[in-house]
Amino acid sequence: MDGVINCVAYSKGIRVANIEIEEINKMLKQRDKFVWVGLNEPDTDLLKKIQDEFDLHDLAIEDAHNAHQRPKLETYGDTIFLVLRTAQINATTHHIDFGETHFFLGHNFIVNVRHGSSLSYKDVRARCEATPELLSKGPAFALYAIMDSIVDQYFPVIEALEQDLDEVEHEIFGNKPTRGTTQKIYELKRELLEVKRVITPLIDICNRLMRFDIKLVPDDTRPYFRDVYDHAIRINEMLETTRDLVTAALEANFSLTSISQSEVSKKFAGWAAIIGVPTMIAGVYGMNFETMPELHWTYAYPVVLFVTFSLCVILYIFFRRSGWL
């Protein structure tokens, strides 16, 4: 069926059968088994079948169909509905592609629904099946395994953002600040903000899964969610550090731009002062006064040129030593 990646029944952590969607309800009646269903971009009809088999709430199904949800954890009776955002670096655009994974967790089932850009959880399922003693803990452990995989995907994303920051800093301090550098800083800041919006709710979600009021998470599985919580805290700290550095880089870029503009203004002022000397002298002798004594002096022309040139040289040396030129 289109949209169904896997529909598997497990007993004591061991895969016992690949089943059809219509057989789920029958399998759920067997207390020693749980069902793990993986879906990718399911349509309305498929979600309706899933809802009927697992007796899921209408609002949760609506959210799972519409996607574009913020990370959250909601309880509907004996079922948990969980939304997480996935992230990975696009190899072509070098920007972050975000996706979503929705979870329905019950006492003897887990359904994960992928939307958008998201890596397959085939490897996660394989690792779980390779450790039946852990998978025997039930659907909550499968939930932990996928959450751990999702959170681990953020580390290369943060590393890529840190590398972008290093390149931006090199442009700021290695070359003259440009408009393109400022644009790169703003784009980096926006991507950090988007990741921050994803990670911050995840911390609260992990914290809730560790609490004892969530009966669907057995006591022996809670420490695993503490590990995910620690990773989320670490990523959040890395984000805060990188965001502070990006803010500092933006301020440094503005400061260097202002300094560069000030240097240009000083050069214009210096050259304007130098050009002002011959302009003033030419203006005086261009007033056509008949009684100007220098007009009839034999050496008047070369003397005026020499004085003009000397004043210009003196001003040039002065401005050069002052750092204006």
pLDDT, tens digit, 9 for 90 and up, residues 81-110 = 999 999 888 878 888 888 899 999 998 999
Residue 283: the pLDDT is 76
For CA atoms 112, 115, 119, 122, the dihedral sign is: positive
- The predicted pLDDT at position 248 comes to 84
Instruction: Give the model's pLDDT for residue 228.
Output: 92
Buried b (16+ CB within 10 A) or exposed e, 139-151: bbbbbbbbbbbbb
pLDDT for 259: 66
Max Cα distance, the chain (Å): 123
Give pLDDT tens digits for 281-321.
777 777 776 667 676 777 777 777 888 888 888 878 887 78
Q: What is the pLDDT of residue 147?
A: 93
CA–CA separation, 210 and 234 (whole Å) = 17
pLDDT at 177: 65
Which domains are assigned to the chain?
1-134 (3.30.460.20), 262-322 (1.20.58.340)
- CB count in 10 Å sphere of residue 136: 14
> So what's the pLDDT on residue 271?
81
Q: Which parts of the chain register pLDDT below 50?
A: none
Looking at every residue in the chain, the average pLDDT score rounds to 85
Query: What is the rounded distance in angstroms from the CA atom of residue 3 to the CA atom of residue 40?
Result: 5
Give me the pLDDT at residue 133, please. 92
Q: Are 229 and 202 in contact (CB under 8 A)?
A: no
> Is 2:43 a contact under the CB 8 Å cutoff?
yes
Sequence-distant (6+) residues with CB within 8 A of 293 are none
